[in-house]
């Protein structure tokens, strides 16, 4: 072998080794940062509790004040317009351990930023102002086709301000890697702007491909904004990640940065997954920008995730949803009109309604959409979710649907990514199975898709898991579909999924041993706080 070729191979191998070591170092730094933040927060909570405890021990006045505060907070909790399952763990914690319970409740739930919801609604009003006539016309057309679906759409419009659109082509991808490939192709065509928002970004092979496209587009003058959740990505990327992208012309910010200092907003994470290209094409689904989502690595067997491509009018809502969180993180008063007033219509069948959920408001949009679909089901209701940690009301609704003859099926993972959460998920099987709900586990591996199809005709698909964290604590986004070819594709994919699952309904109908049941009861007690 010629000497120069041998030297070149050695040099290339050396570069690859340095690259791998660099990525490993960044990941280790991220893990160390996460540990540092967690330990710092624990120390601060312990310090606060101990200080308050000392005051409580030495002062009858402080004890009286604590008791009064406990009563006030418990009364406030009881009067909140939220699910009882969200109230009970806090009530028990505060009554049994007043000092610690009050401190934690103050930190995670009680206080917030009153300007947040106002600012987010202001961004959304840009859509409402221009689209009222169009929405009413679409709702009227939808009512003629299916009144129950129209009532669902009207709920999203009246309660949250998300329009229902026509003139939007929808493509469903049963595999996240196919959605990612299509997304990269569309990014190459970008002319004006690219908006991206993800819970997890990993500086791995998949993102490096994406990064090269974004750098090229930035050099061409395309405006690029990337928002990622800092806590979701903390073990995947280092603190310098955003700064390095900024130097390359990509406006990049971590959402709600994890901090070693206590702050009231830290429990709310950005779990959304959105890409918008020129206001004409949008992508969403369950996948993040990390290698396991695209079959490049297999930490939990086969990773099942799905994606959605929208082209046409409905992309305006995805743009609006992105601008909400961009405003929340940067407080930058973007001239939204230049991004929202883009007229791009693609003649197509069906109705498309992107919507989002906001933990800063009392209205639980995603949960209510799920509940409406459960109540509306007449023949079938199929759900796939990575986690199943739900309220008593939802358990009752699912059981009631099964008892009235609806074929209710829920698919959860066969291989878990979080064993404790998986144990909580399985703790719900028995109660559902005894009411006639069929439970399936995805045997090839971990299913991360989050979607529901009712009677084979209306679909909710997006980022909302069927768990408390998604439905009560996270910023989420989903899409309601009716009458499009994508609904047929999703129904076909569900049939394919069932063929890869094992049904465990009969196993859990019979129940388990007492020790296992007691452990599950304990986990279930604190499920709303997970």
Task: For residue range 470-502, list pLDDT tens digits in order.
Answer: 998 899 999 999 999 999 999 999 999 999 999
pLDDT of 42 strictly over 80? no
* Residue 322: closest CA among 332, 307, 308: 332
Residue 153, Cβ neighbours under 10 Å: how many? 24
Phi, psi dihedrals of residue 454, rounded to the nearest 5°: -110, 120
What Å distances lie between residue 378 and 91, 129, 314, 325, 373, CA to CA? 38, 36, 28, 37, 10
Find the range with the poorest average confidence among 7-21, 291-305, 326-340.
Answer: 7-21
CA dihedral 445, 451, 456, 458 (to 10 degrees): -170
| pLDDT of 487 | 98
What's the length of the chain? Answer: 530
Packing angle of the helix pair 84-96, 98-105 (nearest 10 deg):
140
Residue 351's pLDDT band, with cuts at 50, 70 and 90, is very high
Query: Look-up: residue for tokens 């003058």?
Result: 221
What Å distances lie between residue 202 and 458, 469, 483, CA to CA? 33, 22, 36
| pLDDT of 38 | 67
Give the sign of the dihedral formed by CA 19, CA 22, CA 27, CA 30: negative
Quote the mean pLDDT of the chain. Answer: 84
Q: What is the DSSP letter of 305?
A: -
Packing angle of the helix pair 60-79, 98-105 (nearest 10 deg):
50
More confident position, 90 or 187: 187
Average pLDDT over residues 24-52: 61
Q: What percentage of the chain exceeds 90 in pLDDT?
A: 58
Secondary structure class of 189 (helix, strand, coil): coil
Rounded to 5°, angle at Cα 470 from 469 and 474? 85
The two most distant CA atoms of the chain are separated, in Å, by: 87
Answer yes or no: are the C-beta atoms of 279 and 319 closer than 8 Å.
yes
The string of pLDDT tens digits covering residues 428-449 is 999 999 999 999 999 999 999 9
Residue 8's pLDDT band, with cuts at 50, 70 and 90, is very low
pLDDT of 25 strictly over 50? no
- Residues designated catalytic: 271, 273, 278, 448, 450, 455
Rounded to 5°, angle at Cα 305 from 257 and 387? 70
**Residue 342 has which token pair?**
């883009």
More confident position, 529 or 158: 158
| pLDDT of 511 | 64
CA 375 to chain centre: 23
Residue 10's pLDDT band, with cuts at 50, 70 and 90, is very low
**Residue 193 has which token pair?**
């702007």
Q: What percentage of the chain exceeds 70 in pLDDT?
A: 74
Give the sign of the dihedral formed by CA 377, CA 382, CA 384, CA 389: positive
pLDDT of 212 strictly over 70? yes
| pLDDT of 118 | 56
| b/e per residue 182-208 (b: at least 16 CB within 10 A) | bbeebbeebeebbbbbbbbbbbbebbe
More confident position, 327 or 499: 499
Residue 202's pLDDT band, with cuts at 50, 70 and 90, is very high
486 CB-near residues (< 8 Å, 6+ apart): 170, 171, 172, 308, 350, 459
| pLDDT of 353 | 98
| pLDDT of 130 | 61
| pLDDT of 513 | 59
The string of pLDDT tens digits covering residues 240-271 is 999 999 999 999 999 988 765 555 556 789 99
If you count DSSP H runs as helices and E runs as strands, how many of each does the chain have, helices first?
A: 20, 18
pLDDT of 2 strictly over 60? no
Query: Look-up: residue for tokens 């901090």?
Result: 259
* Residue 315: closest CA among 288, 289, 340, 338: 340
Average pLDDT over residues 378-406: 96
pLDDT of 16 strictly over 50? no
* Residue 312: closest CA among 345, 284, 286: 345
Q: Distance between terminal CA atoms of the chain? A: 59
CA atoms within 13 A of residue 298's CA, in its CB half-sphere: 7
**Residue 383 has which token pair?**
């759900």
pLDDT of 52 strictly over 80? no
């Amino acid at each position: 072998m010629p000497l120069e070729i041998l030297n070149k191979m050695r040099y290339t191998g050396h570069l690859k080794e340095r690259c791998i070591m660099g990525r490993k170092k960044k990941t280790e730094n991220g893990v160390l940062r996460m540990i540092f933040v967690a330990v710092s927060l624990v120390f601060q909570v312990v310090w606060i509790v101990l200080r308050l405890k000392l005051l409580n021990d030495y002062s009858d006045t402080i004890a009286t004040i604590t008791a009064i505060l406990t009563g006030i907070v418990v009364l406030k909790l009881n009067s909140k317009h939220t699910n009882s399952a969200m109230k009970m763990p806090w009530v028990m914690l505060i009554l049994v351990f007043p000092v610690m319970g009050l401190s934690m409740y103050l930190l995670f739930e009680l206080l917030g930023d009153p300007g947040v919801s106002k600012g987010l609604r202001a961004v959304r009003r840009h859509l409402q102002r221009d689209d009222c006539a169009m929405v009413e016309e679409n709702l009227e057309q939808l009512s003629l086709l299916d009144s129950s679906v129209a009532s669902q759409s009207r709920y999203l419009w009246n309660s949250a301000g998300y329009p229902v659109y026509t003139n939007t082509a929808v493509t469903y991808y049963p595999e996240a890697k196919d959605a990612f490939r299509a997304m990269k192709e569309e990014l190459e065509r970008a002319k004006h702007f690219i908006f991206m928002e993800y819970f997890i970004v990993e500086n791995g092979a998949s993102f490096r491909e994406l990064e090269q496209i974004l750098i090229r587009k930035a050099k061409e003058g395309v405006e690029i904004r990337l928002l990622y959740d800092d806590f979701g990505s903390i073990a995947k990327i280092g603190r310098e990640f955003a700064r390095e992208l900024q130097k390359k012309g990509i406006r990049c910010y971590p959402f709600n940065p994890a901090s070693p200092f206590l702050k009231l907003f830290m429990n709310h994470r950005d779990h959304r997954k959105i890409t918008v290209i020129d206001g004409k094409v949008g992508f969403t689904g369950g996948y993040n920008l990390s290698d396991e989502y695209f079959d490049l690595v297999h930490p939990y067997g086969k990773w099942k995730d799905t994606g959605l491509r929208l082209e046409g009018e409905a992309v305006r809502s995805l743009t609006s949803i992105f601008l909400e969180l961009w405003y929340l993180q940067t407080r930058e008063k973007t001239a939204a009109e230049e991004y929202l007033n883009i007229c791009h219509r693609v003649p197509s069948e069906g109705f498309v309604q992107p919507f989002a959920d906001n933990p800063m408001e009392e209205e639980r949009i995603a949960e209510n959409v799920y509940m409406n679909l459960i109540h509306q089901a007449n023949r079938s209701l199929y759900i796939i979710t990575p986690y199943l940690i739900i309220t008593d009301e939802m358990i009752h609704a699912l059981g009631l649907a099964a008892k009235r003859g609806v074929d209710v099926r829920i698919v959860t993972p066969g291989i878990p990514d979080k064993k404790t959460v998986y144990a909580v998920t399985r703790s719900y099987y028995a109660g559902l199975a005894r009411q006639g709900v069929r439970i399936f586990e995805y045997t090839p591996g971990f299913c991360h898709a989050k979607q529901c199809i009712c009677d084979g005709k209306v679909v909710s698909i997006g980022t909302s898991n069927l768990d408390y964290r998604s439905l009560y604590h996270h910023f989420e986004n989903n899409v309601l579909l009716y009458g499009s070819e994508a609904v047929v594709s999703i129904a076909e994919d569900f049939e394919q999924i069932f063929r890869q699952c094992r049904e465990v309904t009969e196993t859990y109908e019979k129940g388990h041993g007492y020790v296992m049941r007691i452990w599950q009861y304990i986990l279930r007690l604190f499920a709303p706080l997970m």
